[in-house]
Structure 1
Amino acid sequence: MTDNRSPCAMVWHVPSGERSSWNNRYFIGTEFTGFESCELVSVAIVGENACEFYGERTDYDAALCSDFVPAGVLPRLGRFQRAPIPNRTARASGW
């Protein structure tokens, strides 16, 4: 159900007395090359149960990057040893 307060916000109704209908919520953060012809650069998924996943694409098209990406995103990548993964490997592993 779409929330009328924001044109893109989604509202998921949670049964009363429970945190969520699955007893765990996930929070997702992503970075893309830009708004037009965008490609995924990185994704982070963190569950309330403390399970985490973080991945960085190594084969995105840098030519698609908006001015913000090299200035604000790329300098923060590469901090986690096992995070970089090429798209073809990600697709093969179901990522």
Structure 2
Amino acid sequence: MLSVSMENKENGSLEIKNSVENGRPPDPADWAVADVVNYFQSAGFEEQASAFQEQEIDGKSLLLMTRSDVLTGLSLKLGPALKIYEFHVKPLQTQHLKNNSS
């Protein structure tokens, strides 16, 4: 399982501090379902993390999720779903694209 340590920022997002592999953080595409669940539990979304477990969302699936998937597909309350997408899923997707475009 991936070891992830995080630091809360003022806007509720997290700064991800992973162990470094090949000069950069491990790719979320390599995360297992348990890693995704652990990430959201660590981010303070303990209740919502179970939806990722139930839907078997691994790292590859997480990186493919759209805003609509998060807001409606996981059956989460709207407030937490918006925060999960804007502060977590979208930044992970952006970072993944940056890391894999060079």
Q: Same fold (TM over 0.5)?
A: no
Structure with more helix by fraction: 2
Structure with more strand by fraction: 1
TM-score by length of 1: 0.27
TM-score by length of 2: 0.26
